[in-house]
Structure 1
Amino acid sequence: MTYSLVQLAPGAYDLLLDGELMGSVVRSGYRTTDTIWTAELLEDLPVGKRPAPFKEIEHSFPTLEGVCAWLGDPVVKSNFGRSAFARSACEI
């Protein structure tokens, strides 16, 4: 299973698993203090059907780097600031 993140805006990412949207990664809190990054599944799947490494519907981390390490260092792409045409041309 291969995860990837697609940045939608600063602090907001779609989480894809093998190219399919399955969750999100978002930042909450103030940018320099009390920041929490949360990886969250879109569906409330039973524990046995959640993709690894998800044991809960959401998991929180102090940094984006921590989320990425936990997900197995996914490819991170940015759609932030691009036109709809440029986003549609972006390969994931």
Structure 2
Amino acid sequence: MRYTLHQLAAGSYDLALDGVIVGGVVRETTAGGALTGWCAELLEDLPVATRPRPFDCVEHRFPTLEAATAWLGGARIVSAPSLHLN
């Protein structure tokens, strides 16, 4: 199983497992905009036995994006593709 993060906007990523979106990783901030950490979350609250590893609960919080990607087995970040207008 390989995770990838697909950038949607600054601080927001779709979380894909083998090419299928299973969740998201988002930056968490205070009301004033200060960074408080990152959250990796599954889209569905699956039974524990069927959750993709390493998820043992639906949400996991991390102090940095690097900590989240490491926990996801070294998930690769994929930037949004550039669009070309003709």
Provide the TM-score with structure 1 as the length reference: 0.82
Structure 1 residue 74: Cα displacement: 1.2
Residues 9 and 34 from structure 1, CA distance in 2 versus in 1: closer, same or farther, beyond 3 angstroms?
A: closer
2:27 & 2:36 partners in 1: Cα distance?
A: 7
Structure 1 residue 33: Cα displacement: 4.5
SS in 2 for 1:44: coil
Structure with bigger strand share is 2
Paired residue for 1:89?
none
Paired residue for 2:17?
17
Is there any run of 5+ residues in structure 2 with no aligned partner, and where?
none
Structure with bigger helix share is 1
Q: What amino acid maps onto 2:40 in structure 1? A: A
The reply on whether 1:48 has 2:49 as its aligned counterpart is yes
SS in 2 for 1:15: strand
Aligned length: 84
Structure 1 residue 36: Cα displacement: 1.4
Paired residue for 2:60?
59
Is there any run of 5+ residues in structure 1 with no aligned partner, and where?
87-92
1:34 & 1:12 partners in 2: Cα distance?
A: 13
SS in 2 for 1:24: strand
Provide the TM-score with structure 2 as the length reference: 0.87
2:12 & 2:35 partners in 1: Cα distance?
A: 17
RMSD (Å) for aligned C-alpha atoms: 2.2
